[in-house]
Every structure is written in structure tokens, then in C-alpha cells.
Structure 1
Amino acid sequence: MKKIGKKTWLVLSILLLSSFHFLEAQELLFIAKSNKYKVGKYEEFEITFSINAQGIGFKEPKNLREHFTVISGPNSSTFTSISNAGLRIEQTYTFILMPKKMGKFTISEASINVGGKTIYSKPFDIEVVPQVYDESIDPNDPKTIAKKLAFVKIKVPKNNFYVGEVFTVDYLLYYRTGIGNIELLNVPDFKGFYSEILREQVNPYQETVDGELFNVVVLKRMLVFGQKAGTFSPGSLEVRIPTEIQTNSRDLFNPFFRSSTVVNQVSVSQCPTITIKALPTYTYKTPFSGAVGKFRFKANLTKSTANAGDAVSLKLTVEGNGNLKFIQLPEVEFPVQFDVYEPKKTDKISVTSAGMVGSREIEYILIPKYNGEYTLQPLSFTYFDPSENKYVEQVLDRLTLKVTGGEQYVQISEDQRNITTQDKESGYLQRDILFIKQNSNWIKHVQASYYVQVFKWWTLGVSVAITFALLLVLGKQLYGSNIYRKIYFKKQIHQAFIEVEKNYTEPKDRLNLLNQKLQMILSNYTLNNSQITAKKSDDSVSEIANQFKSFNKKIEESIFSGSTNDELIDLYQDIKMYFSKKLKITI
């Protein structure tokens, strides 16, 4: 072996020293770029961050994952070369991205540390445009193959429904190859519908599509019904599916098996157009309950015979399958001989694939005051049956209650009431005359001290008049300052929250009932939901009313736009917190 001479070592040393001087002299450049600056929705593209030095502590742009899904990255690589110009180093960080939505987005700066100094890249823009699907794609293209191996579909039982008719919507994933963790990129909005996500467990099953057997998984199942008539296009379901496909290359260690690769494809399924039909003209005399489905109505008195003053319970129950959470039970008019307490409402409703199944019940507590036999008004309940395309009225037999003990109720006419009053006044007059005759000595004593008594009564009368006037003035000022109104207002708000939380657990139901009750309470203070006007005063009711107008809008938007349960719970808690702080009450 030939030894390296001193001259050779000297040349190498000079080259190394010159390269170090070159690195110190060159300007540090941290460059960000993309292979595409205009990309289609859900189209993959690549961005790189390159620096001409050896760096540490790379930090990706802070907003990178806000508008883009990171398919891969950061993948780092380092390139080193030595030439006559000296030592050259280039370090690169690469990301493969997919847009989440359309628009123009700025990717902020990345940073890296070189020799104790932080270097920043420049921000740049990416424009995301609607995806263009090329029908002439090569059938051997990996994404084309992937779309045939895994895809999503929206399943709706039919395209025509009546207002209030309950149905289910399924988001289904079909696959017959290996798949990775999927990502929901977009779901239909279902504006104009009531929707509720079903939490029940649905087992995977198999289905044949175009002669191929696929595994099917229910990604999401919702219970839905239209709230107004019209034709609706809810939108599309868009899901990113990492799909495994076989390649033509073979494994070097096992040539009998082909190798595979994972393709990130986006599957899109349009929701079918749904037509919601208005209910037929209602011709019955009794008010329509709003019920759509199949129901059974019943009423029950806990006793057929009771003593005066005893409590008797009347229960009205509607059970069946349909839009149970939104029906109204019939109102009952009770005889004046009964004391009736505030009714108690009870819901036993299960939301399943079969619909809203269960019962809604209202219970009245009655206290009969007089004996006799009482027959309640006829009770009826009407619902619309979409399977029969007609209204169904259920009329119950009259309920009778026999009351024993207590007084007999006598209905007195106006003439009889006047005669009775005159008789009473005549009796009082006769007793007064008799009293005067039997007490003549006492009358003489009164006449003797007449002037003293007059003076005493005059003094007392003046005092009473002054006191009454003062109370009248103070009362007006007290009422004018809205103290009474505020106290009663607080009590009503507090009671509304208690009733809502007692009777309902689902956030949508709570917001619905709370919205109705707050509108009713505020209307008593000359406040209207569409145009709030308050009495000219500096009380807090006016301010609360204006805030409620904003809450009312948020409630309606959240319910009709298909917001998630978590979003509805947050809105309910915000409203609850506002009233709790504003009115200084514990709810």
C-alpha cells in the first residue's frame, strides 16, 4: 500500500479548512415550498422545508393541521456533498397533506435552530378548489383500484315522507380489503330536520355489491324527521379511507406473494334528495296533537268513588311509535267543584332504530269539594298515521267520579243571590232594633258623652286616612321600582329551569321546553320574541329580554341545523350560567 505523503495531507487539510470557511461565509436559507399551490378538495400534495445547514429542533407551522390533514410527515432527510466549492449540506423536512375544506389558506412559518440561532421560513398560500373527478382515469391507477375496494354510502329507507314522520339515516362503510383509521371530512347538514344520533350498537354485516362480497360497518345512525314541507338536498358524506391495495411487484423474500401499499383515497356519497309532504287538511273539531305515527290513547281515574277532600289522580297516557317527544296531550276542563293541582308530566321514551318508542303521560291531582256524582268531559286524541295516509281519532268513554260526604253543592242564580242578601240585611236590622230597646240606659250614657266620642272617632279617622295615603304612595313607588316584578320574575325563571331538568334529560328536549317557557315568562313583561319592547325603566328585565332574543336565535339554529349533543349541552349551560349570574340565583 502506498503511503500518503505529507503534501497530500496538506492539500486535504487546506480543502477542509476552505470548506469550513465557506460554510461560515454562506447565507443561511430556510426555504418552504409546495409541489402544487392550487389543489383540489381532498387532493394530496407535498410541501417541503429545506435549509442549507445542519439544524436541530425543527418546528412545523402552527396552523398546518388546522386546514390540512397530515397524511405523512414530517419526514426528514439530509444531503451532504464535497466539491471544489467546499462542503455542501442540505437538510429537508417533507409533509404529504390533504385539504379539509375549500378556500385560500396561508401556511405560517416553520422554524429550526442552527448554531444556537433560530431561523424561520416564509409563509406561503395554498388555494383549495372543488375536486374535479376525471372520468377517463386509468383503471389501473392505485386510487381507482382503492375506490372499488372501499367506499361509503348513505342509506335512506325512501325519498318521500310526511312532516313529523320518523325515519332512520345510515352512514355505511363498505370494504373488502385492509383499511386504516378513517376520517370523517364532511357530513350532510339536514337543515330543516330534527335529528338525533342513535347510540345503539350495530354489529357489522356482509352485503353483496355487483357480485362482490363486502363487509359493512355502520359509521353513524340517526333518527330524523322533517319539520317543514319542501324538497331538501342535505349534502354529501365524505370520508378519507386509507385503503390497502396489491401491487404488481413481488416480495423478494417470498416471491409467491405480492407486496401491498396503502392509498389514501376520499370516498364521497351524495345523500338522496328527500321530499317532505305537508299533512292533509285537518277537519276534526278537537285540536290536533301534532302526533305522527301509530299511538294508543288511554285515561284512568285511580278511584271511582271518593270522599270530599280526598285526593284523586287522573292519568292521561299516549303510547306508541312516532314523534313522541313533540306531541301535545289533550287539555281537560274540570268541574268547578274540584280543586286541581299543577299536572305532572312523565316521559318514558326510547330512541332506537324502530323510532321513538314509549309513552308520554300527564297526571292531574284532583280534590273534590262537594258530594255528588261528576262526569268528566269526553276525552279524545287525534294522530296522523303515515302508513294509512289518514288521521285517526280515538274517543274515550266518559269518566265518572262519585263523591260522598261533605256539603251538597248548590248552584245559586243571580235573583236568588239578591233575595238571600236582602233577607240577611233584614235580619241584621231586626237584631239591631232589639238591641237598642234592651239597652236604653247605655244609649243615655252615650248621649251624655257624645262630643267626647265624636272627637275620638274623628281623630282615629284622620289617622287612618293619613296612614292609608302614605301606604298608597309607598306602594306605588315600590311597584314602580319593579321590586315585586323582579322577585316574581326570578321565581318564574328558577321554576322553569327546575321543571326542564326534572322532566327531560336530552339536551334538544331541554332547549325546546326552556325556549317555550322563557318566551312565555318574558311575554308577561311586555316583551315579545320577534320584537322586544320593554316598559321604560332601568330594571334588569329589559336587558335580560334582549339577551334572551340572542339565546332564542341560537337555540333555533342549533336545533334545526343538527348540532351535536355536546354543542347543545354547552349552549344550555351558557344560558343557565347567564341567568344564574344575572339574577343572582342558584339553579
Structure 2
Amino acid sequence: MTVTRSTYIMKNFLLLNLTLVWLAIAQDVSFTASVDKNPVAQNDRFTLEFTVTTSGANARNFKTPDLSKFLVLSGPNQSTSMQIINGAISSSQTFSYILQPREQGKFIIGSATIEVGGNQYKSNPIELTVTKPSQQRSQPQAQQSDQDIDVGDNLFLRAIVDRTRVYQGEQITVTYKLYTRVRIVNYGINKLPAMTGFWGEDLEVPQQMSLPNEVVNGKQYQVAVLKKTALFPTQSGTLEIQPMELTCQVQVQQRRRSGDIFDQFFNDPFFGMTQTANVGVKSQPVKITVLPLPQTNVPNSFQGAVGRFNLRSEVNKRTAKTNEPITLKATISGTGNVKILEAPKLQLPSDFEQYDPKISESIDRTKGTINGSKTFEWLIVPRYPGEKKIPPFEFTYFDVVQRRYVTLRTNEFNVLVEQGSAEAPQLASGLSKEDVKLLNQDIRFIKTSPGTFTRVDDELVDTTAAIVLTVIPLAAFIGLLVYRQKELSAMSDVVSFRSRRAMKIASKRLQHAKLLLTKNNTEEFYAEVSRALWQYVSDKLAIDRAELSIDNVTQKLRERNISEELTTKIKECLESCEFARFAPGSSSKQEKNKMYDMASSIIVAAERELAQ
């Protein structure tokens, strides 16, 4: 009886704890909307912000409400920030718009939606009053200048690399650390570093940011790791990693500037009179010396791999029948830029039919270096019976530790091929496929049919047929010249040429995205869908790549008289896709299918309206 009662109490205790934990997690998510002024004059601008705050959970799929009653001057502008309050760390994302009312009256700005931890959250609606245009725009109130705030060396950002002299293709790890001796209540990334001449892979950093202490020049700082990236130089020479720029909101003590003795007394830190100020910080550029790979004694099997790798191969069967497929698998694993590894070159016997390999990869980004494996699976089909040998193949990489080329070689495989049920062409005894080709050069087979005979004095072709056979090729040649001239004229008009090819290129990219979706490669899937949408609107609307932005795309669509509904859908799809690429977190298969279907339908609808 005692045991049963104790078990009952324990179960209820655990249930209560789980309920409290669930309530605590639910309360950790807030999604709010706000404006910087209300009411607002019709000819005045105002800022609309949507802010989601979480404690460790990832937010995605932000959808803005209907803003058709306002002129969108800028947005959505996205910023990510961190807050540290009493040692508790939380992260927030803000989506902001700069708007101007189109007409007077009272308007309701509806709720935006966002997903956090699989649940959908809605922001609060805002009732906005728009008054008649003001005669003169009100002058902005004087604000305290942030330039007067000098934190000295109490706050700075560093870009730390693990090495500054590497070979081309060798990994460099750059870590961005924020050092602080002041209280930071918020921060936002203004500019990500440009890394020209490098292939970059972001490494995973803990979502729950810790603040360990480090001593620099005799001073103790709290340190936060903001970003960590693995870089692989793609060219030799001196390359530069550009700075990263942040804006930090810090709390500093506010001092009174009068000579009053009481003001001097209350300037004492004991009374905690503080103000919040924006302080910009920027890392220093980092120069990397990249050595070229040795150009002497380069093996033929070298295809650009740099690092340290292993090679393993296998076949799924050693006995097969003719016309029966055999799987030959090669796996390259190790440390280095796994994504760029290429398939080894096979030299199979000519009586084997070979298909393009199926490629799969597994990459680990959690250990500070890029590790992983890449697997190539060839389907080979023997066409003739006998004892066959699959010769070894080679893979060469440049070993950064030994500073030399290393060639790995697989074993030779013996495969016994038996006659299958399907009839395959038989070879003469003791002859190979190459022997048959050689015999065909000097021995003709005996014909069993004499063929058709004609009289020597008969005309082979009558006059009418001769004229027709002469005119048709000439007309075809002239038509080909005319068609070729039209093609050259069309290609010289770059804008029209890009516009005509936009649909075809977008369809190919979406097909590749569908393949990535089946492989559950979330990051590359969203990247490929994003590239398909951006390239389509760039080609179709004749927007230069350097000027591509959601605002420019929206403006061009409206200039082309595209419906407001389709314009909004294109805008939302671009925003959702960009958010899914860069906001950390996982997406369900249903969400990815929904994104793929949305992108496909939008491109078809845009093509139909733009063609009108």
C-alpha cells in the first residue's frame, strides 16, 4: 500500500513539473507589433515594427499583414539582437517597415504571423489614425548624440583566425568574438564580412550563448562568440577578410554637467543613473597569405582535393549474370572541403556498361573543422559472360600536414559473370569485345541475299526528281541562314534574350530543388528555390543583379501592371524563402513541399501575366 501511494504521488509530482515547464516555455515567446507614432499625418512617415522574442527556440515563416493602404518606402528590414538581463540571455528578431499613409481615416493594421517551435503566433493588431496633411513637417526632437558616448576599450569586436598562412584549398577558421566590460542590452549586425576569394561554410555555434571571461592586456572581459566560419581559399596570393560591423545598445552611467555640489554627489555610481546609447563596433580586416599548390609531380588523378582523406570501395556482389546490374561504391571521408570532391575516374572493361554515379554526402560542422564523407555509387552492367576484373581506381589529394600529394588506390575486384536469361550477343570463343572490333576491319560477313539489280543503261533518277533534289537542299540552306540570322539578332538583344529564357532556367532550378527536397537537404533546397525566384525576376524584369531587392522587384511588377495579389505573393515568397535560408532551424517536409509548390505556381502565374 505504501509503495502504491508513493508511486501515485511521484507521478503527480512529475506531471505537475512537466506542466510548469511547458507553461514556462510557452511564456518565453512573445510576438508584438508597434508603431513609432500614432496618430500620423497623411504626408508623414512612420515606422512599423514586428518583434519576436524567444529563449532558444527558432522563429521562421514570417508573414506580413495587408499593407495596401500604405506606401511601403522601405522593408521588410530584418535585424537580429540579443538581450542580457540579470544573466538571462534571450534573442529577438525585428521586421521593420517605413510606411506613408495613402489617405486619411482610421485603419487597422492586421496581425502578422510567425512560427516558433512548431506553433504559430500572431501579433497584436494596431488601430492607426491618419490625420490631414501637415503644413510643415515637424522637426525631429533633439536626441542625445551617441557620438558623445566613449566606451574606450571596454567594448570591441575581434575576428580571430586559427592561421594566417595556408595552402590554396586548406581550411581557415575565423571566429567573431565580442569583448565587453559594459552592460549590453541589445545588438544588431549591420554588415556581414565580405570574403572574396574564399569558399565559406558556416560552423555551428551554441544557440544558448554563454559569456566566459577572458583577459586581454591585463583586463578581464566577458566574451560572446557571434559567428564562426570555415573558409577555403580558391586562389593564391594575399587575400583579405573584410570587417564585420555591429551596433550595440549599451548602458552607461549618466553624468550631470553642472557645478552644483548636489549634482556632483548624485554622480556617484551608487545611485545607478544610467542611459542607453548605441555604440558601433567593427572588427579589423584580416590578411591571409595563400600559397599555391606545388606544380611539379602532380598525379593525373588529382582533382583539387586538399586536406586529409581516406578511400574505401566495395561491390555489392561478386557473382552476377549478364545484363544484371552491379553496384560499385566508393566513399571518400576525412577533413577538408567535402562539397567539392569529385568522383574518381573509372577504367572499366569495354564489355561493361557504366551509368553516371549517384552522389550523397554527410558533413559535420560542429567540431570547428569541416569533416564528412562523400559517396559515389555507380551502376555497372556486364553484357558478356566470363571472369571479369574491375581494375582499381585512384584518388589523389594534397596533404596539408605532409605538404605533398597523396594517392589512394582501391583493390581490384574479380566478378564472375554467368550467362543470364536475357539473350546477349555471343562472342567467338577466346575473343574479347576489342577482338571483334579488330576483326570487323578486315573480314566481311557473307551475304545470304543477292540484293536488287538494275539495268546499266537505265537512268538512276529522272529529270523532275533531279530538279527537286537540287532545289530542296538549296532552299533548306537559305532557310537555315535566315533562321540563324534571326537567332543572332535575338541574342544581340540581351534583355529580350534573358526574358525569353527566364522561364526555362527557373524550371531547371526548381527541378534541382525538387531533387534536393527528396534528399532532405534543407539548406541547399531553400537556397536553390531562392536562386530560382531571384534569377527569374532579374531576367524577366531586366533588373541588374547588383540592384536586386524586394523593393525594386515590387516596384517593377507594379510598373508592368501585375496584379496586386500576385505582387504580394511574389514578395511573401521571396521573404519566406530568404528567412528560411538564414534563420536557423529545421523545416518539416510538408513546409518544404508547400514552399516548392508556391514558387512553381508563382512563376507560372507571373509568366502568364507578363505575356499579356
Partner of 1:331: 345
Partner of 1:57: 39
Contact 2:45 2:100 in 1 (8 A): no
- Shift in Å at residue 270 of structure 1? 0.9
Equivalent pairs: percent with the same residue? 22
Deviations 1:93-127 (A, max 9, x none): xxxxxxx9xxxxxx9999999xx8642435999xx
Contact 1:497 1:514 in 2 (8 A): no
Contact 1:324 1:356 in 2 (8 A): yes
Secondary structure (helix, strand or coil) at the match of 2:213 reads strand
- Shift in Å at residue 359 of structure 1? 0.8
Partner of 2:149: 143
Contact 1:314 1:364 in 2 (8 A): yes
> What pairs with 1:162-173 in structure 2 (closer than 5 Å)?
162-173=167-178
Q: Quick one: which amino acid aligns to residue 214 of structure 1?
A: Y
Secondary structure (helix, strand or coil) at the match of 1:290 reads strand
Partner of 1:341: 355
Partner of 2:325: 311
Deviates more, 1:194-203 or 1:169-178: 194-203
Larger Rg: 1
- Shift in Å at residue 187 of structure 1? 3.1
Deviations 1:245-291 (A, max 9, x none): 34678999998924241352222321322222222215234242221
Partner of 1:161: 166
TM-score (ref. length: structure 1): 0.53
Deviations 1:38-87 (A, max 9, x none): xxxxxxxxxxxxxxxxx993559866879xxxxxxxxxxxxxxxxxxxxx
For residue 201 of structure 2, the aligned residue among 196, 199, 216 is 196
For residue 240 of structure 2, the aligned residue among 233, 250, 257 is 233
- Shift in Å at residue 420 of structure 1? 6.6
- Shift in Å at residue 376 of structure 1? 2.4
Partner of 2:521: 505
Q: Are 2:248 and 1:266 equivalent residues in the alignment? A: no
Contact 2:241 2:285 in 1 (8 A): yes
For residue 152 of structure 1, the aligned residue among 151, 154, 157 is 157
Secondary structure (helix, strand or coil) at the match of 2:330 reads strand
- Shift in Å at residue 242 of structure 1? 2.4
- Shift in Å at residue 320 of structure 1? 0.8
Q: 1:254 to 1:275 in 2, by over 3 A?
A: closer
Q: 1:333 to 1:170 in 2, by over 3 A?
A: same
> What pairs with 1:352-371 in structure 2 (closer than 5 Å)?
352-371=366-385
Q: Are 2:187 and 1:182 equivalent residues in the alignment? A: yes
Deviations 1:466-485 (A, max 9, x none): xxx9xx99xx89x9899xxx
Partner of 1:121: 136
Q: 1:330 to 1:385 in 2, by over 3 A?
A: same
Partner of 2:314: 300
Secondary structure (helix, strand or coil) at the match of 1:298 reads strand
- Shift in Å at residue 576 of structure 1? 6.9
Q: Are 2:393 and 1:384 equivalent residues in the alignment? A: no
Deviations 1:411-450 (A, max 9, x none): 345674478745x33x667xx9xxxxxxxxxxxxxxxxxx
Q: Tell me, in whole angstroms, the C-alpha distance in 1 between the residues paired with 2:248 and 2:372.
A: 39
Q: Tell me, in whole angstroms, the C-alpha distance in 1 between the residues paired with 2:300 and 2:293.
A: 16
Partner of 2:290: 276
> What pairs with 1:72-87 in structure 2 (closer than 5 Å)?
none
Q: Quick one: which amino acid aligns to residue 274 of structure 2?
A: T
Q: Quick one: which amino acid aligns to residue 505 of structure 1?
A: N
Q: Are 2:293 and 1:288 equivalent residues in the alignment? A: no
Q: Are 2:578 and 1:566 equivalent residues in the alignment? A: yes
Q: Quick one: which amino acid aligns to residue 57 of structure 1?
A: P
Secondary structure (helix, strand or coil) at the match of 2:235 reads coil
Partner of 1:48: none
Q: 1:236 to 1:583 in 2, by over 3 A?
A: closer
Contact 2:325 2:379 in 1 (8 A): yes
- Shift in Å at residue 156 of structure 1? 1.4
> What pairs with 1:13-24 in structure 2 (closer than 5 Å)?
none
Secondary structure (helix, strand or coil) at the match of 1:181 reads strand
Secondary structure (helix, strand or coil) at the match of 1:119 reads coil
Deviations 1:210-231 (A, max 9, x none): 2332221111222222222232
Secondary structure (helix, strand or coil) at the match of 2:149 reads helix
- Shift in Å at residue 189 of structure 1? 1.3
Deviates more, 1:308-317 or 1:148-157: 148-157
Partner of 2:409: 395
Q: Tell me, in whole angstroms, the C-alpha distance in 2 between the residues paired with 1:244 and 1:581.
A: 51
- Shift in Å at residue 293 of structure 1? 1.1
Deviations 1:125-164 (A, max 9, x none): 9xxxxx999xxxxxxxx833x3333322221112222222
Contact 2:196 2:240 in 1 (8 A): no
- Shift in Å at residue 319 of structure 1? 0.5
Contact 2:530 2:578 in 1 (8 A): no
- Shift in Å at residue 552 of structure 1? 12
Contact 1:179 1:241 in 2 (8 A): yes
> What pairs with 1:190-229 in structure 2 (closer than 5 Å)?
190-201=195-206, 203-204=209-210, 205-229=212-236
Q: Tell me, in whole angstroms, the C-alpha distance in 1 between the residues paired with 2:530 and 2:184.
A: 45
Deviates more, 1:233-242 or 1:286-295: 233-242
Q: Quick one: which amino acid aligns to residue 305 of structure 2?
A: A
Q: Which runs of 5+ in 1 are unaligned?
A: 1-54, 67-99, 101-106, 126-130, 134-141, 433-460, 516-543, 555-563
Q: 1:289 to 1:361 in 2, by over 3 A?
A: same
Q: Quick one: which amino acid aligns to residue 208 of structure 1?
A: V
Q: Quick one: which amino acid aligns to residue 242 of structure 1?
A: Q
Partner of 1:80: none
- Shift in Å at residue 374 of structure 1? 1.8
Partner of 1:257: 270
Q: Tell me, in whole angstroms, the C-alpha distance in 2 between the residues paired with 1:171 and 1:60.
A: 44
For residue 351 of structure 1, the aligned residue among 365, 368, 378 is 365
Secondary structure (helix, strand or coil) at the match of 1:196 reads strand
Give the aligned CA root-mean-square deviation in angstroms: 5.6
Q: Tell me, in whole angstroms, the C-alpha distance in 2 between the residues paired with 1:194 and 1:183.
A: 25
Q: Which runs of 5+ in 2 are unaligned?
A: 1-36, 49-78, 80-97, 106-130, 257-261, 421-425, 452-460, 485-500, 547-575, 583-594
Q: 1:358 to 1:580 in 2, by over 3 A?
A: farther
Secondary structure (helix, strand or coil) at the match of 1:325 reads helix
Contact 2:337 2:370 in 1 (8 A): yes
Q: 1:295 to 1:304 in 2, by over 3 A?
A: same
Secondary structure (helix, strand or coil) at the match of 2:578 reads helix
Q: Quick one: which amino acid aligns to residue 301 of structure 1?
A: V
Contact 1:163 1:276 in 2 (8 A): yes
Secondary structure (helix, strand or coil) at the match of 1:233 reads strand
> What pairs with 1:335-484 in structure 2 (closer than 5 Å)?
335-406=349-420, 410-411=431-432, 412-413=435-436, 416-417=439-440, 421-422=444-445, 424-425=446-447
Q: Tell me, in whole angstroms, the C-alpha distance in 2 between the residues paired with 1:224 and 1:547.
A: 31
- Shift in Å at residue 349 of structure 1? 1.7
Q: 1:260 to 1:194 in 2, by over 3 A?
A: farther
Tell me the number of residue pairs that the alignment of Structure 1 and Structure 2 aligns: 394
Contact 2:298 2:405 in 1 (8 A): no
